[in-house]
Chains A and B, each alone.
Chain A
Amino acid sequence: MKNKFSILHPYNNGLYHTADSIRFSYWLVNSGYKWCLAFLILAMLYPVNAMASNYTYTMAFQAFLKWVPLLVKSGFVLNIIISFLAMMIGTAMGVILGLAQVSQYKYVRIIAASITQLFRNIPWLVLLFIIMLTFPFEIETADKIYKIPDWTKAVFGFSLPVMANISEIVRGAIKSVPLGQWEAAESLAFSRQKTFWQIILPQCYKRMIPPWMNWYAILSMATPLVSLLGVEEIITLSRQAMEAENNNPELLIPFYSFALFIFFIYCYPIARFTIALEKRYAVKL
């Protein structure tokens, strides 16, 4: 029999419930596709009003198809490379920073917390501009000049906010282990270090993975930001391709829809997986 006493159960509207640390994944899974559709409809309306020309959607689509291999191979792949590297570097730095946030030395804690808060709250685009414009574009040694490609600077720029957010995830996971675990380990003559590495940290991994993946989805969605700085990723290439096709407004639809969908298709499974992991771990712990 169906239980009518809904007040005894958490209210369920058919959507996934939000957990703060992985809110982005929930958003993407629940309503991401709606936004995609909304964009498409708006985009469809625009050229109709803009001009009455002989250029049709079919022609735009055909023009677009020519560019697809380039958009994917050197565009989207670069987005993925940037997001991967930034995530790796950001995670490595973030774990260290997160551990420093729970150090037993007060000043280490303060410094780590300040760095974390600074990079968590600075707008990503501002950070990217600073990195892009202040870092050298080439390095001169005695006999050679090494060019530094823009996208490596983008990787560094993205890895900083990732670092700060991973740092918070690490700190939060460590703090979420009950104090009793420390006390039990202490009473069994474990040193602080041993307690930390063998008892506290192993309990943290599971709690860290879902929010970590959530941040990866956010990061990969954010990579087109660097198109504003001229890095030749998918959005920059789309714009260049449209220019090559005489900037017909009808081109906007295939090109940007494609970018939209490729990101959506890439991130949606990640978000689903994140939520699934979160649920599984939530039951076990």
Chain B
Amino acid sequence: MNTWTEKEPILSIKDVHKSFGELEVLKGVTLDVMKGEVICIIGPSGSGKSTLIRCVNALNDIQKGSIKVEGVEVNDPKLDKLSLRRKVGMVFQQYNLFPHKTAIENIMMAPIQVLKQDPKNVEDRAHTLIKKVRLQGKENSFPGELSGGQQQRIAIARSLAMEPNIMLFDEITAALDPETVKEVLVTIKDLAHDGMTCCLVTHEMGFAKEIADHIYFTDRGVIVEHGPPKTFFTEAKDPRTKEFLSQIL
């Protein structure tokens, strides 16, 4: 029986190891996220940040350790992946919208097909979501007709339509130009204000500083340093963190 309560971490990652063949990308990562918390994972390329959050919704499996979402173990061969993914939404760097469906169909598809919800209700909700990501009037556009920033916001709305409890963002602004990055970040800020639990992998330091409750710095498969943004950016202790921050800021 699942005895998880909101006082425990909604996402609990313990000593996670992950290798792709010979290459070990995660070498014992541990972190906890409380409900409503926003965490940012930063670090150089290839440090395993993306892999880590892909493991959370079981897109990648792990070799050792434990990932618990609302107390349910993800690293379990008997895991009901579908029920996990209803709780965990994910947004990708390349948006990955379904090109043969309109914006609103993209949003409505999963609730109707997977959750078997009433199409009428789903449509109402989809309109609310489109308003939320500030894309009124684009309901019937195909992804190919939208800009990168717009596509990414539709992708966020698509994940939200499943009413997840945790949202994972995998470098969602990395493929966007600086102008449109802002509109996507505003959307995420709204989400955070609404109390959504968010895990972001990002290179937007300024944004991380502004929005995160906790920042984790990863390098070569381990978390080198972490802390609230106030202290993290000013009082970094580890030389690797210092070097990274000096290059970025």
A: residues with CB less than 8 A from B are 178, 180-181, 183-191, 194, 198-199, 202-203, 284-285
Contacts and interface: CB of A to CB of B under 8 A. Distances in A.
B172 interface: no
A185 to B, nearest CB: 8
Interface in B78-129: 81-83, 85-86, 88-90, 92, 94, 96-100, 109-110, 113-115
B218 interface: no
Main secondary structure of the interface of A (DSSP, over half): helix
Chain B: interface size category: 20 to 34
Contacts of B146: none
A234 B155 CA distance: 57
B113 A187 contact: no
B158 A188 contact: yes
B159 interface: yes
A190 B114 contact: yes
Given A180-B96, A184-B98, A203-B99, A190 B110 contact: yes
Contact of A189 (B85, B98, B144): B85
Contact of A202 (B59, B92, B97, B100): B100
Contact of B159 (A187, A190, A199): A187
Nearest to B110: A188
Contact of B98 (A181, A194, A284): A181
Contact of A183 (B59, B114, B144): B59
Nearest 8 pairs of A and B residues by beta carbon: A184-B96, A188-B110, A180-B96, A187-B90, A189-B85, A189-B82, A189-B114, A202-B100
A189 B109 contact: no
Main secondary structure of the interface of B (DSSP, over half): mixed
16 contacts: A178-B94, A180-B92, A184-B96, A184-B97, A186-B85, A187-B57, A187-B59, A188-B85, A188-B158, A189-B86, A189-B114, A191-B82, A191-B114, A194-B113, A194-B114, A199-B98
B94 A187 contact: no
Contacts of B26: none
Contacts of B97: 184
Contacts of B100: 202-203
Given A184-B98, A189-B162, 12 more contacts: A181-B98, A184-B96, A184-B97, A186-B59, A187-B90, A187-B159, A188-B162, A189-B81, A189-B85, A190-B110, A190-B113, A202-B100
A199 B98 CA distance: 7
Interface string B60-80: 000000000000000000000
Contacts of A189: 81-83, 85-86, 110, 114-115, 162
Q: Specify which of B57, B86, B89, B99 lies most central, judged by the most chain A CB atoms within 10 Å of its CB.
A: B99
B92 A184 contact: yes
Contacts of A199: 98
Interface string B155-181: 100110010000000000000000000
Contacts of B57: 187
Contacts of A187: 57, 59, 85, 88-90, 92, 159
Contacts of A178: 94, 96
Contacts of A185: 98
Nearest to A284: B144
A178 B98 CA distance: 11
A184 B57 CA distance: 11
Nearest to B86: A189
Q: Specify which of A189, A194, A198, A199 lies most central, judged by the most chain B CB atoms within 10 Å of its CB.
A: A189
